[in-house]
């Protein structure tokens, strides 16, 4: 063998050993399953901080066209998100329709996937406005968007300030900024459409409840739909977060890898403080001093939600129902996953409660529906049954358990309650809703009932 052959063999061997690493990091899906990168990113905060940028402020008071808002949000993500330009082949049905409508490109980047969107229904004067939760992005609604679209609704989503880039952006955000964005989106949408449904997930739901009970509601708003609504966190000392955040070098509650392109995994103290402020606005104590809600309400919750106190949520829903107008009360609907024994003794007898039960072997193996699972279909390419991404934030401080959760071939799935983690030490937090097909029908029925009550 001559020297050239030896050199070629060595070169090819090196390239073959190096190529797998290139492939792993080439898009948002493969990066999320590369444990060596995940470990490095968690340790060094590679994806935790926004890129340096000087982005122009969007004037929410100007009542700018919604398309101008969408363009502004997309540009912000493009300059601030450290992975904005990374290829992200996550082809949900919603994304494919956005491509067909000309508002997205065929080969998506992370910016394309997580940016707020408008899924237009031609000739329709009905719209749903969907507001995501804390640390999330509009990707939260790629699956639910289809339910509304198939009912003839244009679907609009927004990006709450501090989101769409990196977790560090939440260190400089407050409740008033979120309220301002929500107010703009609602008032812009009621200008553009004749019928408007408001839908919110987690903190987004709290923001919508606050708006609905404090503002002069347009008669065009027909219903309020809440998914894992933010009522109270399990930690009742959330008010302390804003004071702890003032201590130098004490800025984070969790520092994770942030490989989930659609949701921050790291969590700043200020984010907890802002979310606590939002949920405080809809506490039972505050509700008693505010006008009654005058809208039919559809809610979906889990009995063992590890993020939000389900008992507090049920008290909130009961309070909203009891003071609601009779013509709306009869439409109020609650989808409760898990045990119905969690319902308080004084829960309204005329509240329509749906309590789905597992009917498949796969569902029976799931240890409770998590807070983050409710909005996602099992077929979701990022969060679904066959997706490569795994939520293992429960084990941030335990490297061995964290690695097992991220890499084991047969993970246990469910909500990260203390009881579950004790029994299943490497439990992966459930990221999809096994009852999603039923939920689609339940949402459709609610919408038809609302429209029928209006004589539509």
Q: Could you report the per-residue pLDDT of 17-75, keeping only the tens digit for each?
A: 444 444 444 899 999 989 999 999 999 999 999 997 666 689 998 889 999 999 999 99
Q: Is the pTM of this model over 0.85?
A: yes
> Quick one: pLDDT at residue 49?
96
Mean pLDDT for the stretch of residues 221-230: 98
CA angle 78, 79, 82 (to 5 degrees): 85
Least confident segment among 132-136, 286-290, 393-397, 403-407: 393-397
> Quick one: pLDDT at residue 175?
97
* Token output for 298: 């559809």
> Quick one: pLDDT at residue 221?
98
> Quick one: pLDDT at residue 19?
43
Mean pLDDT for the stretch of residues 276-297: 89
DSSP string, 79-144: HH-TTTTSB-----HHHHHHHHTTSS-SS-BHHHHHS--EE--TT--EEEEEE--TT--GGGGTTH
Q: Please say whether the beta carbons of 330 and 249 come within 8 A.
A: no
More confident residue, 142 or 292: 142
Q: Please say whether the beta carbons of 82 and 51 come within 8 A.
A: yes
pLDDT tier at 245, thresholds 50, 70, 90: low
Where are the alpha helices (H) located in 281-407, listed in sequence order? 284-287, 310-322, 326-329, 361-364, 399-407
Residue 233's nearest CA partner among 296, 197, 186, 275 is 275
Mean pLDDT for the stretch of residues 145-168: 97
- pLDDT above 90 coverage of the chain, percent: 78
Least confident segment among 13-27, 31-45, 235-249, 402-416: 13-27
The helix/strand/coil state of 336 is strand
Whose tokens are 């609604």? That residue is 141
Structural element, H or E, at residue 74 = helix 66-80
pLDDT tier at 289, thresholds 50, 70, 90: confident
pLDDT tier at 238, thresholds 50, 70, 90: low
Alpha-carbon distance of 295 to 212, in angstroms, equals 8
- pLDDT above 70 coverage of the chain, percent: 89
Is residue 291 predicted with pLDDT exceeding 90?
no
Q: Which range is most confident: 238-247, 287-296, 306-315, 388-397?
A: 306-315
Is residue 247 predicted with pLDDT exceeding 70?
no
> Quick one: pLDDT at residue 13?
45
């Amino acid at each position: 063998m001559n020297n050239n052959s030896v050199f070629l063999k060595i070169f090819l061997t090196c390239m073959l050993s190096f190529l797998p690493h290139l492939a792993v990091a080439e898009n948002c899906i493969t990066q999320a399953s590369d444990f060596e990168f995940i470990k490095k990113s968690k340790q060094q905060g590679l994806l935790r901080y926004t890129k340096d940028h000087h982005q122009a402020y969007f004037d929410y008071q100007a009542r700018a066209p919604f398309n101008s808002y969408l363009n502004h949000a997309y540009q912000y993500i493009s300059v601030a998100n450290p992975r904005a330009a990374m290829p992200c082949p996550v082809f949900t049905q919603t994304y494919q329709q956005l491509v067909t409508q000309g508002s997205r490109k065929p080969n998506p980047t992370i910016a394309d996937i997580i940016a707020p969107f408008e899924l237009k229904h031609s000739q329709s004067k009905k719209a749903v406005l969907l507001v995501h939760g804390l640390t999330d992005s509009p990707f939260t609604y790629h699956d639910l968007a289809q339910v509304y679209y198939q009912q003839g609704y244009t679907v609009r989503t927004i990006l709450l300030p501090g989101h769409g880039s990196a977790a560090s952006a939440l260190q400089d955000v407050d409740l008033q900024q979120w309220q301002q964005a929500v107010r703009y989106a609602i008032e812009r949408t009621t200008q553009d459409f004749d019928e408007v449904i408001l839908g919110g997930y987690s903190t987004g739901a709290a923001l919508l409840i606050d708006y609905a009970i404090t503002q002069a509601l347009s008669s065009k708003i027909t219903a309020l739909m809440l998914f894992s609504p933010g009522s109270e966190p399990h930690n009742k000392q959330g008010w302390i977060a804003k004071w702890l955040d003032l201590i130098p070098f004490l800025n984070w509650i969790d520092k994770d890898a942030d490989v989930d392109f659609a949701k921050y995994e790291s969590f700043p103290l200020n984010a907890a403080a802002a979310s606590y402020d939002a949920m405080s606005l809809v506490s039972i104590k505050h509700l008693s001093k505010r006008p009654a809600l005058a809208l039919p309400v559809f809610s979906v919750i889990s009995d063992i939600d590890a993020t939000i106190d389900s008992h507090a949520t049920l008290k909130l829903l009961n309070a909203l129902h009891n003071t609601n107008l009779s013509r709306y009360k009869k439409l109020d609907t609650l989808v409760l996953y898990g045990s119905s024994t969690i319902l308080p003794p004084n829960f309204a007898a005329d509240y329509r409660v749906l309590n789905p039960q597992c009917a498949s072997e796969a569902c029976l193996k799931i240890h409770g529906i998590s807070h983050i699972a409710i909005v996602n279909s099992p077929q979701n390419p990022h969060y679904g049954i066959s997706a490569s991404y795994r939520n293992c934030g429960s084990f941030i401080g335990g490297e061995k358990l964290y690695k097992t959760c991220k890499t084991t071939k047969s993970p246990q799935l469910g909500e990260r309650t203390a009881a579950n983690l004790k029994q299943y030490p490497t439990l992966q937090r459930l990221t999809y809703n096994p009852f999603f097909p039923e939920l689609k029908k339940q949402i459709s029925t609610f919408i038809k009932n609302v429209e029928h009550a209006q004589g539509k």
